[in-house]
Structure 1
């Protein structure tokens, strides 16, 4: 029989069993007529999902019960987190456990899956594609950047070749000049001797003729000239020049040619993508119109302080020409520590676990103070450690000068192991002209107060130059001279302009925000509540300043 003319079975509503169905509840998996649909969805204990029958999804496949093979599980035990059948429920094994309809549970799980799928498709997967694109772009730049390095080395080689050729030619010219002078002297001597020989030959010939002549008149007139020739012409004494090449010191030659920083490959922790619900972030604080001086630590001794580092809101470490001292806001000396070598410490920093590190430029070491015991953790050769800070990763960042003070670089240490060196920009130009106070920002930028360059130099975590801040217009035309530097929870950069009596506040991108007026500020640090501690170099004091609002 033709299918179009065959009898068709009428599908009826699962509830009333009399009226043809029209809709389907995907949650309850039942078919509904128009009359029963309203009654069904009025049950607010469940989240019904009623659709037209032709748009229904396929019927869910109820899982079989592992204990009762002939049964399908229609209930989900929330406590045991397993599907159970009606026999399992009636057996009392899940008595007191919270249960839910397995289709409702499926609906909830489906929503979670849909949400995860949406996040993967719209946020996570595109970020991975973006990361891949970034890596591919960086790979494409590798050849160009390394080509620039090779070209720079070749150009320097050509300069050296020209200089060496010029030196060789100069030496050869000097040798030729000495040779000609030597030959000229010998030629003059030769001429004199030759002339004497000619005269002697003539005299000898004349004497022989005279002897053979037996002529008395001629013989009587003869005068001897032998005395003129008894003294031979002066003998030329010449000391030949000697070329004495210096032994080539390959290490010194290599250093003179120019340094090439080592390849530093660091695995950067990428920003974790927050879930759509969001995550906590540091409270936003605004700059006060008028900063508040909340405390002053006035020192009794005469030695000038030149570095400060916060241990807490109430206690700070300072260092002077003699020792390192822990002081509280009541001017009480809590701890005093002499350096291991007896030398004056150059800079200090408090580590993440509350210990103290200091640099000793005289013996080229970085040292750790723990429970008043001092341990040398870094010992340098050819370089002098100057300033130090404790990084967020609990590493140490040390800025140092070469022995001849011609070069400066920042080195990251994990314990005593060097893990990163930052010295040159992408064009092999020095990033720093001299070592200065150093701080790591919340965004992992590394900030250095380069007083020799009259600028704050900021690089990112990988060591790439982000910007240089050369000061903000003042009433004076004297150059900007940054000294101390620190950062806060808002990623602000604060630097002390000692000679102009200002502390500059910048945002993390180097944009000037505000001044804090302060007499002769030197070293800076910020505690966990963003209180600013300032060493006042001339007045032997430390000021505690509130410059941010406390309201979020």
Structure 2
């Protein structure tokens, strides 16, 4: 049985059969006059038949939709088949002569309906091809954000509990010390009072002895005793010994408020940043993505092929070499825009040069063998000041300003994210280290300090970078490890070297998610994949590098290398 018109959706994918009696073939055409679907053979017969040879037969997708058959309420013998253009209501042919529609213009209702059908089909196609898929993409993005927020919040809860436990231990320690001090003071005061008590006891005993002597003189038994009695004026009662009242210590109750305790425990803050609207791809872009042209498909394929075929080269090839004036070694490199690079040595010399080796700027800092400077997205430079516990900013017009204060933490390393412009800072106190994330304006938005068990992650995070998946990668010289957490702060893995201990220095990542870290012990660079698996050693003496301490990768996938004992920067090609 053929489907009725109302049962056939515009984007139907079912098998539609010819409506001709006893014909079960696939429907491909439609007669707009008969409003009947038909197959190719029935169409040919339909056009040859004398009564229907002038009918309009079109491909099924171009058919005119059949109007619902309805009688006019004013003229029950007539069907509604016209549209009054001025009143915009359906009428029958007889209604055109009534006074309500006299002088109005009219249109064939079927034609109007066909035009609307065409418009609605386009809208349905737009909904199916753009609005609905784009909305589904937003739902996936929101679901990802839900997962991410849950991770971040769980990390915050874990950090809060660990911080509270740390403060509790500190309180217990201080309380124990104070009680011990009270015990010692008590013993000292009691010892003094016991001495005074003994002194009074001795004095009372001497008085009793004196009383006995006087009683003996009252009734002398012989001349000798009488002689002593006559001389009794020589016996003198000693004055009562002087003693002093003890001065007990005073316990001063701690002066603190809920806010003071909150400072010790830390607090959660909501950044005063306006949430960014989710990006909705333009309809034109979406259409292009859904139905790419042959040229676009070729370009996309070429781009994909480049990334898929990009891999480790069988050899490391030297591309060029630069001499940096004003430094004694290259402990850290920051690549800037317009062929500019910043280099620092262990003595705090921070120098900017062009690629011809011309010194453009030199700053004396208190930085040393740390990755303490980075180029921001706007082309400026920011660097840490450990002594003053601040981060300074050098704008493109060479003005130096104080950008961020780090409180009681010494800022060691810094990295400006290539993903979103966030600023990652490795810091330390005498007890432990942490990584703090700031946004572009310098507002603190995240602290990464402890692992999933509440234990400190870092001790001396002196080089820091970010991988293409958002992982934060840190060289910690005191932990002898590369420590990697995801963007929510959850610890992913620690790399501690191969056969010997690792002393990690400069660290960077590349377009494939590789992690490259310089090792002072092996005097080579270790190449890891994004999950911390060791792949190979790079920058060996055979490749012309003796003491690699700093590394970075540029936009052309070239590896820039600095050594601690020379003022040269060498560029290598290691991917192909």
TM-score, scaled to structure 2: 0.68
Matching of residue 492 in structure 1 with residue 514 in structure 2: yes
Equivalents in 2 of 1:103, 1:540: separation in Å? 74
SS of the residue aligned with 2:108?
Answer: coil
Quick one: distance in 1 between partners of 2:167 and 2:111? 82
How many Å separate the matches in 2 of 1:434 and 1:39?
A: 89
Alpha-carbon distance, 1:547 to partner: 0.8
Following superposition, the deviation at residue 450 of structure 1 comes to: 1.6
After superposition, the CA RMSD in angstroms is 4.7
1:368 aligns with 2:394: yes
Asked if 1:547 corresponds to 2:547, the answer is no
Residue in structure 2 matched with residue 294 of structure 1 by the alignment: 319
Give the whole-Å Cα distance in 2 for the aligned partners of 1:324 and 1:165: 47
1:335 aligned to 2:345? no
CA offsets, 1:357-411, max 9 Å, x none?
2222233332223222323322343222222222122232222223x46433323
1:467 to 493, 498, 517: 493
Name the structure 2 match of 1:437: 463
Q: Where in structure 2 are the equivalents of 1:69-148 lying within 5 Å?
A: 69-72=106-109, 74=111, 113=127, 119=133, 124=137, 127=140, 134=147, 138=150
Deviates more, 1:261-270 or 1:31-40: 261-270
Q: Secondary structure at the match of 1:408?
A: strand
Partners of 1:261 and 1:421 within 8 A in 2: no
1:413 is matched with which residue?
439
Looking at structure 2, the residues matched to 156 and 179 of structure 1 have their Cα atoms a distance apart, in angstroms, of: 35
Shift of 1:47: 8.5
**In the alignment, which residue of structure 2 is the partner of 1:79?**
none
Aligned length: 483
Alignment partner of 1:243 is 2:254: no
Q: By how many angstroms is 1:496 displaced?
A: 1.3
Tell me, in whole angstroms, the C-alpha distance in 1 between the residues paired with 2:367 and 2:168.
45
Larger deviation, residues 410-419 vs 268-277: 268-277
For 2:423 and 2:167, the matched residues in 1 are separated by 36
How far did 1:352 drift?
A: 1.8
2:36 maps to 1:31: yes
Structure 2 match to 1:13:
none
Task: From 530, 535, 539, give the equivalent of 1:513.
Answer: 535
Q: Where does residue 219 of structure 1 map in the other structure? A: 226
**Residues 329 and 565 in structure 2, CA contact (< 8 A), matched pair in contact too:** yes
- Structure 1 117/500 Cα, relative in aligned 2: closer, same or farther at 3 Å? same
How far the C-alpha of 1:538 sits from its partner, in A, is: 1.1
**Higher mean Cα deviation, 393-402 or 223-232?**
223-232
**Deviation string, structure 1 residues 54-89 (Cα, Å, up to 9, x no partner):** xx997378996958532247499xxxxxx86xxxxx
Structure 2: how far apart are the matches of 1:453 and 1:336?
Answer: 35
Deviations 1:474-527 (A, max 9, x none): 4xx2x1111111122222222111331221222222222222124211122211
Q: Quick one: structure 1 residues 427 and 230, their matched pair in 2 at CA, closer, same or farther if it must change by over 3 Å? A: same
CA offset at residue 258 of structure 1?
6.0
- TM-score between the two structures when normalised by the length of structure 1: 0.70
Q: Deviations over 1:6-30 (max 9, x none)?
A: xxxxxxxxxxxxx869586566644
Contact kept in structure 1, 2:207 and 2:237, CA below 8 Å: no
1:453-493 superposed Cα distances (whole Å, 9 cap, x missing partner): 1122222222222222222x24xx2x111111112222222
**Is the CA contact 2:376–2:416 (under 8 Å) kept in the aligned structure 1?**
yes
Is the alpha carbon distance of 1:27 and 1:74 closer, same or farther for their aligned partners in structure 2, counting shifts above 3 Å? Answer: farther
Unaligned runs of 5+ in 1: 1-18, 51-55, 77-82, 85-101
> C-alpha separation between the residues in 2 aligned to 1:132 and 1:304?
44
